[in-house]
Amino acid sequence: MPSRTLPTFTLADVQSHNTKKSCYVTLGDNVYDVTDFLDSHPGGADLVLQYAGKDIAEILQDGTSHAHSETAYEVLDDSLVGHLATKKSAPNGSAANGSAVNGHAANGKAKTSATPKTPGPHPRTGMSSEEDLSKETDIDTDYKTHKFLDLNRPLLPQIWNSGFKKDFYLDQVHRPRHYKGGESAPLFGNFLEPLTKTPWWVIPIVWLPPIIYGTYLASLGFQYKLALAPWWMAGFGLWSLVEYIFHRFLFHLDDYLPDNRVGITLHFLLHGVHHYLPMDKYRLVMPPTLFFALCSPFWKVAHFVIFWDWHVATAVYCGAIFGYVCYDLTHYFLHHQNLPLWYKSLKKYHLEHHFLDYNNGFGVTTRFWDRVFGTELVPVVKTA
């Protein structure tokens, strides 16, 4: 394929492209327009915008955040728009003699002689890092290769009518796909479609008012209002265990899943669709109707166990439901937002649950219970 002649930019030109509407970055002497990639970046658009108009060599190799895979460099290759006007630029616009930048050639391709060894693609998912979760799936090729689901057509009827065996279904549903920039693939394909989508902000709007009201009712039974706090916090802490149990024994009921279309369809609706399309922003948090069905029995359990005091049981319950709200929001932000430094390792841990090992790493807000029950996910470690 003949090479194209690309324009030359001054550093000031590049620095002027520093907004969400036009975002340029550099790597060595190359200039990339990553505007279209902002919303698909696993760390969120804000993280990319921090480097808008700047060189990204350092952040690409920053192990504190995460080491970027070759997929990141492939994205850059597709976004190349020109070259910096520097003395190092060769006449054809490429970096002189193909010099490497932080271990990668100036055109974004790795130089094997200078690139640190990184773990290869996972044998099942074919993925090696979290960027792979946002690499857009070639829908036609994927369907022809795997004979699983056609992302061009409604997914639920395909699951119901497929006749898939359980082992094949589980293998395929845990190979993450990325649908057209992270939008929602059709599930029903009819008027029911909007009911399957839940924006993240619905969760606090729906659940915080009843939590506040329930806490108020609970406080009426305490002579000293502050005496409610330990019980409320106990419920909040208890949620992390409930979260682990739900995720491991309900959402990942894989080994005990009935090998029939009823079991497979229910599994897909409950959690399989999230593993199949993990970057779907609208099928990530739990719809309020589903969580209401799950949490209603726990109201009775809480008051059955703490039978001696209705107000104490209610305080514990409200604390636990607040823990759920924190969990669902954390889960969303782990997938779609840049996080403070102390949260970055948790983001990496959870996304490796998706692309590396779905049989471990069930904690979302904490890995504490994974350590207790021996299901801690072994992280990908770079070797020198």
Question: Over the chain, what is the mean pLDDT?
Answer: 82
CATH 3.10.120.10 occupies which residues in the chain? 8-105
Where do the DSSP E strands lie in the chain? 8-9, 24-27, 30-33, 80-84, 100-101, 104-105
Q: What is the mean pLDDT of residues 33-58?
A: 82
CA distance 275 to 279: 9
Residue-level pLDDT at 121 = 65
* Pair of tokens at residue 300: 């009775």
Query: What is the percentage of the chain residues whose pLDDT exceeds 90?
Result: 45
pLDDT at 15 over 70: yes
* Pair of tokens at residue 356: 């590396």
Cβ neighbours, 10 Å, residue 24: 22
Q: What is the mean pLDDT of residues 312-317?
A: 96
DSSP string, 227-289: GHHHHHHHHHHHHHHHHHHIIIIIIT--TT--SSHHHHHHHIIIIIHHHHSTT-TTSSSPPHH
Residue-level pLDDT at 99 = 36
CA distance 44 to 31: 21
| Chain mean position to CA 132 | 11
pLDDT at 1 over 60: no
Q: What is the mean pLDDT of residues 37-44?
A: 75
Lowest mean pLDDT: which of 90-104, 152-166, 346-360? Answer: 90-104
Q: What is the mean pLDDT of residues 133-146?
A: 87
Residue-level pLDDT at 9 = 83
Kindly give the interhelix angle for 288-305 and 310-336, rounded to the nearest 10 degrees.
150
Let me know: does 108 contact 80? Beta carbons within 8 Å: yes
Closest C-alpha to 138, from 122, 124, 126: 126
Q: What is the mean pLDDT of residues 223-242?
A: 94
pLDDT digits 0-9 by tens, 278-299: 999 999 998 888 888 878 888 9
CA distance 214 to 39: 38
pLDDT at 244 over 80: yes
What's this model's pTM, rounded to 2 decimal places? 0.68
Residue-level pLDDT at 217 = 96
CATH number of 8-105: 3.10.120.10
Element (H, E) at 182: none
Q: What is the mean pLDDT of residues 28-44?
A: 81
CA distance 68 to 27: 14
Residue-level pLDDT at 68 = 65
Closest C-alpha to 174, from 308, 87, 279, 273: 273
